[in-house]
Structures are given as C-alpha cells and as structure tokens.
Structure 1
Amino acid sequence: MAILPAYARIAGELRELIRDGTYPPGTRLPTIGRLCDVHGVSEIVIRQAFALLRTEGLVETRRGGGTVVRGRPPARRLAMERYRAETAPAAVPATSFTVDHQITWRDYRLDRSYSRHRADEELSALFAVEPGTLLLRRYFVFWARGEPQQISTNYLPWSLVEGTPVADPDREPWPGGTPAQLAFLGHPATRVEEAVRSRMPTREEADTLRMGTGVPVLTITRRMFSGDRVLEVCRDIVLPADRVVLDYAIDL
C-alpha cells in the first residue's frame, strides 16, 4: 500500500472530521501553527493540506478569519415534477425555482439581460431550424434569500415573441416562468427534455455564483416542446454542484 505524502494524510484526517461533523459548517479549523505542532510538520505541509481541501470545495480561507468549513445546504431539484409548479394554477406567484428553494416571491430575485441572437450550428440543431434564425437570448441570474444560486441562458424564437410582453425584460420575474409564458403565447409546453453534464465553472460563473475554489458545476441543456415544435432552448442552466441534488423518478 502506497504511503501518502504528509499533506495528503493530514488533509484526509481533516476531511473525515469535516464529514463526521466534528468541524461543522462555519467552524474555523485549527491554526497552521497548531496543526504543525500536532503533526510535527512544517507550515508548507499544512498549507498544502488546506489547498487540497479548498480544491475539493470543503473549506475556504478568509482574510483575517483563518480557514473555515464551507457549508451550503443543497437545494433539491425535482426534475420530473418541478415544472408542475409552473403549469398548475397557483394561489400565490411561484416558479419551479422558488419551489426548489422553498422561498416566497419576496425572497426571489432575477437579474436579466435580453438581446437578439442568430442561431449557431448547435442552437439550430436543438431548435431544428436553419442556422442564422433570429432568436431572443435571455441571460438570467437567479437569487434566493439574497444569494445567487443559478445561471440560465435561454432562447426563444424571435418570430414567436416579437412585440409581446415575453420580450420585455421589465415583465420579469414572470409568475410561472417560461411554461407560463409559452401558455400566454398560445403554445403551452407539452414536453421537457433535459441533458445533464458536469464541468468546472468559468471564472465569470464562479464569481457570479460566489463559488468556492474547486467546486464543479452541473450544466443542464433544456428543450421545451409544444407538440412537435421546440419553442425554448436553455443552453445552459448552470448550478453549483455542491448546492443541488437531482432527483429522478421513473415509472415502469
């Protein structure tokens, strides 16, 4: 059995103490000096151990605050059922995002940027339209309780939304989200397809979502159909992987 380097062994011990709750979220880890004394190693070894834990997204180092255990309770995406919140009549405003995060409309914030965009090869294939077809591009950052939680870049055919309230960013957030907007336009969604991948975030994504070092993102490419026609493409929904659980139920 290979002998681990000292920094990896120490990181492993700290990792287990974090996972078993000895160091719960928000707890400051022992100082570098204290860990040097306990393990009989130099400062550089402890710094390497901390660096490894940071790349795993378990801790963050705060200026003047030491190294602290990160903690973000995961939101739960009910992938097969979540869109029902946007298609069923509701007594209060809601979207699938507010349901995921169990927040009220008052705790929900949506930053947005709208522009017209020509379909590239990938978008034209997803929409099953000619390359160069004019689309409405909508870039959203979703907030819950004052924290950014999700980025979404979605596209709608310009011919469908031109001159309608759906193309007006001042109408957002729209109760019921995109399914409600498609229904408003006379084309209720009848099918949703999602493809899930994982990757490391871009610098912009990590900054926007206030992510810790070393945390990957889940990216979801979504298509909404009305009958046989694709009327919305999200490329992509971007979610920090340490804040979300994807739940799937398959009836056989």
Structure 2
Amino acid sequence: MAVAEPAYVVIAGEYARRIRTGELPAGAQLPSYAEIAEQNGVSDIVVRKAVELLQNQGLVRSVRRRGVFVASRTNLVRISPERQMQDPETTFGNESEQDVRVERDFEQVAAPVETAEILGLEPGREVSRIVTRASEGGRPISISDTYQPVGVEGISTAKVLEETIADRIPSADHAEWLRVNSGELVKSVHQRFIDADGGVVMVSDVSYPRDRYEAFVFRMTLD
C-alpha cells in the first residue's frame, strides 16, 4: 500500500524526472530556493530537504555562493519510511516522463527451499507469490519475486526492513525480462520484512539492469 509522499519528496521527484529526461541537462542551474518555494507553495526548509534529496541521488551539486547545478551521476535513493512503502508506479513515475507500465502476476506455489527456510516454513509448503514487472517506454527496467506465507497479507506487522544489495547473475525469469545475456550481471536487491518477534513475513528479490543506476543511496530515520 502506497503512502502519501511528503512535499519535499514530490518536489525532488519532479526535478529528478526533468533531469533524467534531459529537460534539465548537466550543468543547468536550478531556480533559487525562494523561487522553488514560491512555485510550490512551501517553505524554504521543505526546498532545502528536496535539494538535499537530489544531492543524495547524485543528480545535483551545490556550489557555494552560486547555486545548485545539475550533475551527471544517476543514483537510486531509497528513503525510510517514505520510499520503502512506495509502489513501482510511483517510484518509476517520479523518475521519468516516459510511459511506465507495471504488471503483476499472483499465484500460490510450493515454496522454494531457500524461501521456505527464510520464512520459517517446511520446504514445499504453499506460499503466495507475486511477480512484478516494470517497463519504461517499452524498455524493461525492473522485475521482482515476492513471497509470503498463505494467509499473511501486506507488511502491517513488519517492524524492520532488511535490504542486501549485490551484483548477481539473475534467475532465468529475471534475465529473460530484463533482456540480459547469459552470465551477465544485474543489480539485485534482496528484501526481508521482519516482525517484532524476528519472523520474516515477506521476502522479495528485485532485479534492475546494472546500467540504470550508478549507485544505491539509503536514508533512514533513526529513533
């Protein structure tokens, strides 16, 4: 379930989209904080947070006494708690003005051995599986496999999200969707949603083309 995004995330998303589509090329200067604040009806504090988010994504750089300029790097920033609850339509829609399409397949399957172990189930136990495929302008940009015990829906009971990033050889299904050659690496994100008792209520593996993002940036709110 998606949650409403804070104003600074919306503003950052709009500028990120304009930068990635080339509307704002490398070296272009962004409007001043005051101008952005007036255009969006927000305070300077909100604008500063939006610019900070763009900096963390590697999309802009701040030059003392001159302003904020478009950089050339492209990172994927994952924000807690705003982004980890975001659906793919919102995530990719904030990155591009191209047509973003997301398709999902739902089924109940026998749990693979590794998945059953992570979820604390007996191998072969039936689990719910969702395969989510995303494309941008007809180009595949993401695919994920998500598993949950039958009868468990969503992540309302989860207290911790654990994510592991790696360059990996994808599964056959992921390789086929992303159109990568045999033995070619993809950027992989392995997610575990963990409840208060330490049990895993959802496990997900997400694959992206390696050339889509230069780096992954994580921002978490610490209690």
TM-score between the two structures when normalised by the length of structure 2: 0.53
Q: How many Å separate the matches in 2 of 1:142 and 1:125?
A: 28
Letter of the 2:148 partner, please give it.
Answer: L
> Helix, strand or coil: the match of 2:118?
helix
Q: Is the 8 A contact 1:128 1:230 kept in 2?
A: yes
Q: Is the 8 A contact 2:119 2:200 kept in 1?
A: yes
Q: Kindly tell me: are residues 125 and 202 of structure 1, through their superposed partners in 2, closer, same or farther at Cα, counting changes over 3 Å?
A: closer
Structure 2 unpaired stretches of 5+: 1-71
Q: Is the 8 A contact 1:78 1:246 kept in 2?
A: yes
Q: Is the 8 A contact 2:88 2:134 kept in 1?
A: no
Aligned to 2:218: 248
Computed over aligned residues only, the root mean square deviation of the Cα atoms, in angstroms, reads 3.5
> Helix, strand or coil: the match of 2:146?
strand
Q: Kindly tell me: are residues 118 and 214 of structure 1, through their superposed partners in 2, closer, same or farther at Cα, counting changes over 3 Å?
A: closer
Identity %: 23
Q: How many Å separate the matches in 1 of 2:145 and 2:210?
A: 18
Aligned to 2:122: 130
Aligned length: 149
- Cα deviation per residue 1:143-174 (whole Å; 9 max; x = unaligned)? 2344321110110111224xxxxxxxxxxxxx
Q: Is the 8 A contact 1:112 1:139 kept in 2?
A: yes
Aligned to 2:46: none
Is residue 117 of structure 1 aligned with residue 109 of structure 2?
yes
**Which structure has the larger Rg over C-alpha atoms?**
1
The structure in which a higher percent of residues are strand is 2
Structure 1 unpaired stretches of 5+: 1-72, 88-93, 162-180
Is residue 226 of structure 1 aligned with residue 195 of structure 2?
yes
Aligned to 1:77: 76
Query: 1:95, CA displacement in angstroms?
Result: 2.5
Letter of the 2:164 partner, please give it.
Answer: A
Q: How many Å separate the matches in 2 of 1:144 and 1:83?
A: 25
Aligned to 1:192: 161
- Cα deviation per residue 1:198-232 (whole Å; 9 max; x = unaligned)? 23446654442244798520222211123233111
